[in-house]
Amino acid sequence: MEIGKTEKYINDINAGGKGVFMGLIDPDKQDADKAVELAKLLEQGGADIVMLGGSIGAQGPVLDETAKRIKEAIKIPLHIFPGNVSTVTGHADSIYFMSMLNSKNAYWISGAQSLAAPVIKQSNIEAIPTGYLIFEPGQTVGKVGEANLLPKDKPDLAVAYSLAAKYLGMRFIILESGSGAPKPVTKDIVSAVKEISGLNVVVAGGVKTPEQARELIKAGANCIHIGTSIEEDNNPLERIKQFADAIHLK
């Protein structure tokens, strides 16, 4: 499968020696007006990509309306972080086509993907082949996805799953602790997965400070998802700028 425009954009940023700052907006947490304003702040503050996604309500007409309006308001890529089959919209540039490899339910490994694939084809959005691993504590996504949660003190397990993702043809691996998790995955896990698998490593969940983001990029992460820590900040633009500087290693 050929590399598309958004994936190339990510690779080009990494090739320039920078990490990729991916700002996550959950359409279910605010109305479209607030989501558009946050997307504008993300672009203004230095985020590289705006993402839409959530574990439960980020779907259907809510997702379509929010995506359409954000796409009209920003110039950087709009990317979908899907929570289920219905988290697909033709108003975005790209989507993680991802398999939750450590789910106990085959639906999240290949079932949802089979149902969503024709819709993605019809929507003509770029699909990025991605492995998805859920680590302790897992939060909402761990419960919804029926994950066999991976421990954060066993890098060898993360490496094994990441190698499986690579051999299955995936090019990205998301190391997810769950939205609002106390901490992200460890630097040791990031380094081991990057060194041995060579995949584009994405860290999601639990990244609460710019300092944490910087250390994860230094450890080998290619991309960092930032969502809750921006949504809950009293000065989101300043916080976005701080994360941008840290992830871009300025």
Could you tell me the residue range of the domain that residue 65 belongs to? 5-247
With helix as H, strand as E and coil as C, how does 36-90 read? HHHHHHHHHHCCCEEEEECCCCCCHHHHHHHHHHHHHHCCCCEEEECCCCCCCCC
* Cα–Cα dist 250/240, whole Å: 14
User: Is residue 74 pLDDT above 70, yes or no?
Assistant: yes
pLDDT in tens, 25-54: 988 788 889 999 999 999 999 999 999 987
User: Is residue 211 pLDDT above 80, yes or no?
Assistant: yes
Share of the chain above pLDDT 90, in %: 85
Residue with tokens 């990205």: 172
Residues 6+ apart with CB under 8 A from 139: 177, 178, 179, 180, 181, 205
Domain count, the chain: 1
The dihedral of CA 11, 238, 141, 188: what is its sign? positive
Mean pLDDT of the chain: 94
* Cα–Cα dist 235/227, whole Å: 14
pLDDT in tens, 127-143: 999 999 999 999 999 99
Instruction: Name the pLDDT band for 19 (thresholds 50, 70, 90).
Output: very high
Give yes or no for a cis peptide into 182 (omega within 30° of 0): no
Tokens matching residue 161: 């799953």
Q: Name the DSSP class of 29.
A: S
Instruction: Name the pLDDT band for 217 (thresholds 50, 70, 90).
Output: very high
**pTM of this prediction?**
0.95
> What is the CATH number for 52?
3.20.20.390
pLDDT in tens, 108-124: 999 999 999 999 999 99
